[in-house]
Amino acid sequence: MDLPVPDGTVVHDALEDHAREVLTDRAVRLGRKAAALRDGRFRARAYRAVIDDWSVERLERRITRVRRQIRTLRRTGGAPAVPIPAALASIAACESGGNPRAIGGGGRYRGKYQFDMGTWASVGGSGDPAAAPELEQDRRAAMLYARAGASPWPVCG
């Protein structure tokens, strides 16, 4: 079946299906990116199952909204502030004096909690920890602390 569009041209179902596939893939990628900035939890298959039969217009609206969310999350450092355990506050004070831009160990350790790049990536961080917003550093440190206790900070933990 052909679909008329406002300018008088005709779009075939196959083209509509292809557009929906492309937009669904894009929505899943953006959903994954937004989840990484929030809490790292994202179930792509479940998300795809929900949006799979949406119209092109609805997918475009979702993509626009998720892009807006991503910009906001990047600007604010991700998820809302998490309560920082007293032990983490103590670790930050010891590691960096509480300075989120601190760089130590000849450049190897970076940020408020002196993450190395591998540890930062293991809790969903990307880029330079010292360049990340302080709230993101707090959130990622809380994730690491919940997973491994104070052991990642052998001197200050």
The Cα 113–Cα 154 span in angstroms is: 12
Residues 56-107: tens digit of each pLDDT = 999 999 999 999 988 888 777 665 555 678 899 999 999 999 999 999 999 9
Residue appearing with tokens 């440190």: 141
Q: Please name the residues in contact with 79: beta carbons below 8 A apart, sequence gap of 6 or more.
A: 37, 38, 39, 73, 135, 139
HSE-CB for 136 with a 13 A CA cutoff: 27
Structural domains in the chain, sorted by start: 2-76 (no CATH), 86-148 (1.10.530.10)
Please indicate, yes or no, whether the overall pTM of this predicted structure exceeds 0.85. Answer: no
The answer to whether 78 and 37 have CB atoms below 8 angstroms apart is yes
Which of the residue ranges 3-12, 42-51, 81-90 would you say has the lowest mean pLDDT? 3-12
Decide which of 10 and 21 is more confident: 21
Angle at 100 between CA 155 and CA 75, to 5 degrees: 140
Q: What DSSP character marks residue 6? A: T
Using 50, 70 and 90 to split pLDDT, how confident is the model at 48?
A: very high
Instruction: Give pLDDT, residue 74.
Output: 77
Which of the residue ranges 15-19, 37-41, 64-68 would you say has the lowest mean pLDDT? 37-41
Backbone angles phi, psi at 45, to 5 degrees: -65, -45
